[in-house]
Structure 1
Amino acid sequence: MNVLVTGGSGFIGRWVVGRLIRDGHKVWVIDNLANSSLENLNEFFDNENLQMVKIMDLKDRESLEDLFRDTHFDLCYHLAASINVQDSIDDPETTFTNDTVATFYLLEECRKQQVKIVFMSTCMVYARAHDDQGIDELSPIKPASPYAGAKIAAENMVLSYFFAYGLPAVVVRPFNTYGPFQKTGGEGGVVAIFIHNKLKGQPLNIYGDGTQTRDLLYVEDCADFVVEAGYNDQINGEIVNAGTGKDISINALAELIADKQVPILHIPHIHPQSEIQKLLCNFQKAEKTLFWTPNVSIEEGIKRTEKWIQSTFHKKDHFKS
């Protein structure tokens, strides 16, 4: 197939691109590099299946129209987004235009050619899990940040194109994803930041009391889930979660990563109103429809991530935060 990946040089995007190339598809990548680096795609540049990597903003409608005019795509994975919750509270307009308005522009191009779209949403749209059954696709949503609000708005637009125009579309909501190629600065995830600090001999800083929990999904498991959602037409018009079905408190995560080698500190939360106290995924729908289950444990995932971060220490640019 001819496959377009927006945000394809980002953390999850580069793993999705890698899986698609391995599966033998021809892949086009667009990215505005606001939260990513072309270096993330280095290992694929010599592969004949990587057709094009274009630095482009989805809000540039003319360039987007040209791209779809030049190439007929079979499938589009839409991963490009502003992803920082704190930034969305400080500057909601940027997040809204990048996550909602840009999604609308992309939907319009997909509609013209009936290109299936897989929309990358987030577990941050949910209210907290109230029990150990976890959060499924019918659980209540709660836009506690403009980031979550923008994603919910974009989800609804994506699904409206399925119902109004018959556009093949699916919304995926992965839980907190971590692993190699994630940023280790302010826009990175908690696992990457903690590991980076530990390797630098710096304390691990926890916002609030650290009792909040996360369901941490290793990035290769996440990428496999996202790609499979594009291959499967049984879930068109639906929302699907992915996680591990296990949550860990930030305190326990810090202890696991610190391994008694660096101190753990608690600091005041910057935006406590956007905190979700318990995030635990129920991924039974993904298991039944996509035959997907996560393979990498938190212990193994941390080991792989630590090994990768250690290997990047000679690249000074990587640690700008």
Structure 2
Amino acid sequence: MNILVTGGAGFIGRWVVARLLEDGHFVWVLDDLSNGREENLKTLKDNLNFKQFIHGDIKDSKLITELFANKFDICYHLAASINVQDSIDDPHTTFLNDVVGTFNILEKCREQKTKLVFMSTCMVYDRAHNEGGIRETAQIKPASPYAGSKIAAENIVLSYYHAYDLPVTVLRPFNTYGPYQKTGGEGGVVAIFLKNTLEGLPLSIYGDGSQTRDLLYVEDCARFVVEAGYSEKADGEILNAGIGKDISINKLAELIVKDRKLIKHVPHIHPQSEIPKLVCDFSKAKKLLGWEPKYSLAEGLAQTEKWIKTTDLL
């Protein structure tokens, strides 16, 4: 198939592209490099099915029109503003990228009947209230402009399924980590903790560290994303992915660092947008896609640490 991956030079996007190439598809990548890095694609560009990398913006309607002349079968739409604090400081940019940009992509998909797989986030949810985890029908809570923009984009995407019979799928992966994730900034807690530990630096935890996360290894996440695009059963659906177990940030730090004196607690930068407990119920993805995670947290941490030790992409 001819496939477009927006945000394909990003952390998860890079793994999605790798999986699609492995499966024999022709792949185009669009990325403005605000979050992604072209270097992430270096080992993939030699594949004969890697058609083109386009440094461009999903808000550029002219560029999108020209790009869609390639007649895509599927568009995996991962391009977005992803930083919670940035969305609080500058909601305008997040709205334009995550809502208006998504609309631009959707319109071209509608014109060509291109299936759209939309990457949303577990940050749209309220906290988990039971040990069984968060299902797709659980209460949502737009606690940041980032979450609010993702919810708005989800609704627009699903409206095209109902109004135009366009095949679309909305994905809500839980906190993803692994090789190619940046080791600085927000969102890469595992990568940051591992890199700091290897360098003997302190691990800074926002707030009291009791907040929990369901940590999904990136290769499992990419397989989930790709297979949602292949499956007609996923059309019109919202799907979660996680490992079904959560860990507190305190416990995660203790798992990674041997010297507890290196663990520091610092004031939270956005306590109003913190989700105290996140744990995933992925039973729907298992039922519809036959998907379930293959990597345990211990295995994923080992793979990520190995990558950090050997890469020059940090």
Indicate whether the TM-score tops 0.5: yes
Aligned length: 314
In 1, distance between residues paired with 2:10 and 2:185? Answer: 15
CA–CA distance in structure 2, aligned partners of residues 25 and 286 of structure 1: 23
Q: Which residue of 2 aligns with 1:136?
A: 135
CA shift digits 1:205-230 (9 cap, x unpaired): 00001110000000000000000000
Q: Secondary structure at the match of 2:43?
A: helix
User: What are structure 1's unaligned runs of at least 5 residues?
Assistant: none
Residue 276 of structure 1 pairs with residue 275 of structure 2: yes
Equivalent position SS for 1:5: strand
Between the aligned residues of both structures, percent identity stands at 66
Aligned to 2:56: 56
Q: TM-score, normalised by structure 2?
A: 0.98
Aligned residue for 1:254? Answer: 253
- Provide the C-alpha distance between the structure 1 equivalents of 2:191 and 2:43, rounded to a whole number of angstroms: 21
Q: How do residues 29-40 of structure 1 correspond to structure 2 at under 5 angstroms?
A: 29-40=29-40
Partner SS for 1:4: strand
Name the SS of the counterpart of 2:58 in structure 1.
Answer: coil
Which amino acid in structure 1 is aligned with residue 276 of structure 2?
Answer: Q
RMSD: 0.9
Residues 259-268 or 245-254, more deviating = 259-268
CA offsets per residue over residues 124-176 of structure 1, 9 Å max, x none?
00000011010000000000000000000000000000000010000000000
Please name the residue that 2:47 is paired with.
47
Partner SS, residue 241 of structure 1: strand
Partner of residue 26, structure 2: 26
User: Matched residues in 2 for 1:262 and 1:122: separation?
Assistant: 33
Displacement of 1:38: 0.7
1:29 is matched by which residue type in structure 2? V
Q: Could you say what secondary structure the match of 1:134 adopts? A: coil
Q: Who is 1:231 aligned against?
A: 230
Q: Does 1:4 align with 2:28?
A: no
- 1:208-219 alignment, distance < 5 Å: 208-219=207-218
Instruction: Give the match's secondary structure for 2:42.
Output: helix
Q: Point out 4+ residue stretches in structure 1 off by more than 3 angstroms.
A: none
Is the 1:198–1:262 contact (alpha carbons within 8 Å) kept by the matching residues of 2?
no
CA contact (8 A) 1:218 1:301 kept: yes
SS in 2 for 1:197: helix
- Equivalent position SS for 2:72: coil
Equivalent residue, structure 2, for 1:95: 94
Secondary structure of the residue aligned to 1:44 is: coil
Q: In structure 2, give the amino acid aligned to 1:141.
A: I
Runs of 5+ unmatched residues, structure 2? none
Q: Does structure 2 conserve the Cα–Cα contact (< 8 Å) formed by 1:182 and 1:188? A: no
Partner of 1:189: 188
Aligned-pair CA distance for 1:188: 4.3
Q: Distance in 2 between the 1:86 and 1:168 partners?
A: 33
Take 1:81 and 1:180, find their aligned partners in 2: how far apart are those partners?
Answer: 20
The 2-side partners of 1:187 and 1:40 are apart by 19
Cα separation, 2, equivalents of 1:302 and 1:259: 15
Instruction: State the Cα distance separating 1:237 from its structure 2 match.
Output: 0.7
Q: In structure 1, how many angstroms separate the alpha carbons of the residues matched to 2:261 and 2:220?
A: 29
2:74 maps to which residue? 75
Q: Residue by residue, what CA displacement relative to the aligned partner does 1:262-292 show, whole Å, maximum 9, x if unpaired? A: 6101111011000000000000000111000
Match of 1:201 in 2: 200
Aligned partners of 2:280, 2:267: CA distance in 1, in Å? 27
Post-superposition shift, 1:187?
A: 3.6
Cα distance in 2 for residues equivalent to 1:37 and 1:247? 30
d(CA) in 2 for partners of 1:59, 1:25: 26
For 1:143 and 1:79, how far apart are their aligned partners in 2?
19
Give, in whole Å, the separation in 2 of the partners of 1:140 and 1:232: 26
Question: Closer, same or farther in 2 for the Cα pair 1:261/1:304, shift >3 Å?
Answer: farther
